[in-house]
Amino acid sequence: MDAQDALAKAPIFSHLNPGALSAIQRAAKLRQLAPGELVVREGEDATGFFLLCQGQAEVVKGLGRDGERTLGTLGEGDFFGEMALFDGFRRSATVRAVSDCECLVLERSDFLPLVATRPEVALALLQVLSRRLREVEDQLLL
């Protein structure tokens, strides 16, 4: 799946108009990863958002330490790192390529100018952040 298709099919961006999708594609960069390669590492400064265009990756907490655990698996169209676009805090988990992967990467430094002209992109991400926060809240209140 190429970057344009990945953006159009990703649930987070699928409702955006073609102009907004093209603006995201121009601001983002493609990154190739080999199996076992780390996409991001837990604890490092978070600077970007990732959309998986091809392949599979796993989300790991405590990589290389006692109690290491896999939190989930990501496939084509899945994304992570949206909080980094807004706050730049440290990564809460490691993401490792399971197969050959291609990711579309949107860095915070490219995102901020993008939303100045395309605020609908920020709104799409804020909807996801809100939904994920509600899911965590629901788990905590059980």
Mean pLDDT of 120-136: 84
Mean pLDDT of 84-111: 91
Label residues 32-66 b or e (16+ Cβ within 10 Å = b).
ebeeeeebbebeeebbbbbbbbbbbbbbbeebeee
What CATH number does the domain containing 35 carry?
A: 2.60.120.10
Taking all residues of the chain, what is their mean pLDDT, rounded to a whole number? Answer: 89
More reliable by pLDDT, 35 or 131: 35
- Number of domains the chain is built from: 1
> What is the domain range of residue 75?
3-109+118-140
More reliable by pLDDT, 38 or 129: 38
Q: Quote the pTM value.
A: 0.85
> 93: pLDDT confidence band, cut at 50, 70 and 90?
very high
